[in-house]
Amino acid sequence: MTDRLPGFNTLAIHAGAAPDASTGARATPIYQTTSFVFDDVDHAASLFGLQAFGNIYTRITNPTNAVLEERIAALEGGTAALAVASGHAAEFLTMHALMQPGDEFVASNKLYGGSINQFNHAYKNFGWSVAWADNDDPASFEAAITPRTKAIFCESIANPGGVITDIKALSDVAKKHNIPLVVDNTMATPYLIRPFEHGADIVVHSATKFLGGHGNSIGGLIVDGGSFQWAGDARYPMMSQPRPEYSGMVLAETFGNFGFAIACRVLGLRDLGPALSPFNAFLILNGIETLPLRMQRHSDNALVVATHLSQHEAVAWVSYPGLETDRYHALAKRYTPNGAGAVFTFGLKGGYEAGVKLVSNLQLFSHLANIGDTRSLVIHPASTTHRQLTDAQKTAAGAGPEVVRLSIGLEDPADLIEDLDGALRA
């Protein structure tokens, strides 16, 4: 091989991995162990003191998980990554590293309903507050910033509506106020959007969705972009201040452009404990090997189905940026030239009751609370994933009473259309 950086397809298969040194196994082994033997007392001390890299305990590091971490860092173009138990865990450990009691962050109002609930309620127990901003108005993010604001949070493609976020515009706001931009890239994956290329500082994923891709494992990922200067910034003491747990070490100074990922691991994952099972890491790794193939097929199929529904007499509207008539089509051409993703919403003229009846009459689509499977999935957000929100919050999040969300899988699109047409007739 030359010094040329391998292409995306090659990285999806090979990044972070090599044949097992002891057995020659080509697939990454599942290191299903709780702990690892030290060479001697000095070796153990150096690991615990962060003077050496290595494995201590699977809650903190594991060789299978490490391959997953290296692979997603390579695909996203980041400096380092951390694998954790779920997408929610990835969000939580990210904010744990950034926030102190009394701190705030600004978030887009177009997010996954579980994230909205987490931000509005669970984070209050830690003294963290969220200010909501209009995803379509970067100025509203700036208007919400106060001296206690520690981050801006958005989704690259918003769930459930498939809305494309202008990441560069939000990055400009974040940089103006010297705070990090955190982007949830679950819906796009790095195949469609690489947020670091548009000014993001931190990327998080629910690996449960498109990265794993087969609906068989839950996991989350945090990727450090290496772009934010934590050193000397007293607003972020987890990275910039001496850590008593590690003999006064300053993580940003010791670990440089991957200091944030280290902080999430040794100050968050170590003590709070949402560790990813090595078996789930193995399944997600296998899913990533086909990520570029699947994401292209997902996007191609979604465009066919969305086009059909946009012309259906029972459908009031379709929100899919791949459609030329969509308000986010220009952003899609700019940010997602390979396709606008698998997930979109549409509104039924019959409102809430029609949405409930539709999901009950579909046969090929599975009615469940997930996205990113090889199979096509459907849900009525107002009665399920977003039901804990007020009506105003549901509408703001793109999950109003008439809304149905589809996650288009890898089936033949003609079969999906037939299933939808039959359910709409019923």
If you average pLDDT over residues 43-62, what whole number do you get? 95
- pLDDT per position as a tens digit, 327-380: 999 999 999 999 999 999 999 999 888 998 999 999 999 999 899 999 999 999
Q: Which residues does residue 153 pair with via DSSP β-bridges, in sequence order?
A: 107, 182
Residue ranges, comma separated, of all CATH 3.40.640.10 domains in the chain are: 8-287
pLDDT at res. 162: 87
- Report the share of the chain in percent with pLDDT over 90: 89
Q: What is the DSSP string of 207-260?
A: TTTTTT-SS----EEEEE-S-S--TT-TT-HHHHS-BGGGTTB-HHHHHGGGHH
301 with 340: CB under 8 angstroms?
no
Mean pLDDT across the chain: 95
pLDDT at res. 276: 98
pLDDT tier at 51, thresholds 50, 70, 90: very high
If you average pLDDT over residues 382-392, what whole number do you get? 77
Residue ranges, comma separated, of all CATH 3.90.1150.10 domains in the chain are: 291-425
Q: What is the DSSP string of 8-75?
A: HHHHHHHTT----TTT--SSPP----SB---SSHHHHHHHHTTSS---SBTTT--HHHHHHHHHHHHH
If you average pLDDT over residues 8-24, what whole number do you get? 93
This prediction's pTM: 0.95
pLDDT tier at 2, thresholds 50, 70, 90: low
Tokens of 62: 């594991």
- pLDDT per position as a tens digit, 67-88: 999 999 999 999 999 999 999 9
Buried b (16+ CB within 10 A) or exposed e, 177-200: eebbbbbbbbbbbbbbbbbbebbb
- pLDDT per position as a tens digit, 110-149: 998 889 989 999 999 999 999 999 999 999 999 999 999 9
CATH class of residue range 291-425: alpha beta
- pLDDT per position as a tens digit, 244-260: 999 999 999 999 999 99
- pLDDT per position as a tens digit, 396-419: 767 788 999 999 999 999 999 999
Structure-model confidence comparison of residues 35 and 382, the more confident one: 35
pLDDT tier at 394, thresholds 50, 70, 90: confident
CATH for 8-287 (3.90.1300.10, 3.40.50.300, 3.40.640.10, 1.20.272.10): 3.40.640.10
pLDDT at res. 393: 77
